């Protein structure tokens, strides 16, 4: 899973220390493969919040690209993550960072 998580970080997942905004191109195939490899039940609460914020930003601002990239997996994963407990303030902060990161890539 570490490789999958690192792939998502490369494509804007806001994990770790502050970094420069990533630059494109955005690789739909690599992102879809990384998301598919994630073992969501094994993710820590913090990781689920990060993934939720990133996916929510992607879906809201680039809905066609989100569907094209992740197919049915994206909405179903997003629904599962939204149903899990998360800090709404942390979510908003992480979503804002995700939007900035994704905007530079998409």
Using the predicted structure, report yes or no on whether residue 1 has a pLDDT greater than 90. no
The residue ranges of every structural domain in the chain are 2-105
Distance, CA of 85 to CA of 5 (rounded, Å): 21
Question: Which alpha helices (DSSP H) does the chain contain, by range?
Answer: 2-10, 28-37, 45-61, 63-70, 73-83, 88-105
- pLDDT (average), residues 16-44: 89
* pLDDT band for position 76 (cuts 50, 70, 90): very high
Q: Is the pLDDT higher at 100 or at 21? A: 100
Distance, CA of 18 to CA of 73 (rounded, Å): 29
Determine the 3-state secondary structure of 48 from DSSP: helix
- pLDDT (average), residues 5-28: 87
Return phi, psi of residue 43, to 5°.
Answer: -70, 145
Return phi, psi of residue 21, to 5°.
Answer: -60, 135
Q: Is the pLDDT higher at 105 or at 20? A: 105
* pLDDT band for position 19 (cuts 50, 70, 90): confident
Whether the bond into 25 is cis, omega within 30 of 0:
yes
- pLDDT (average), residues 51-74: 97
Q: Is the pLDDT higher at 3 or at 20? A: 3
């Amino acid at each position: 899973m570490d490789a999958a998580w690192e792939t998502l970080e490369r494509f804007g997942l806001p994990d770790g220390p502050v970094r420069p905004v990533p630059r494109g191109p955005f690789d739909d195939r690599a992102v879809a493969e990384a998301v598919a490899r994630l073992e969501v039940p094994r993710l820590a609460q913090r990781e689920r919040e990060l993934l939720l914020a990133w996916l929510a930003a992607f879906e809201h601002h680039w809905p066609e690209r989100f569907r094209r990239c992740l197919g049915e997996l994206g909405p179903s994963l997003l629904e599962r993550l939204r149903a899990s407990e998360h800090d709404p303030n942390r979510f908003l902060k992480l979503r804002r960072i995700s939007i900035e990161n994704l905007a530079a890539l998409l």
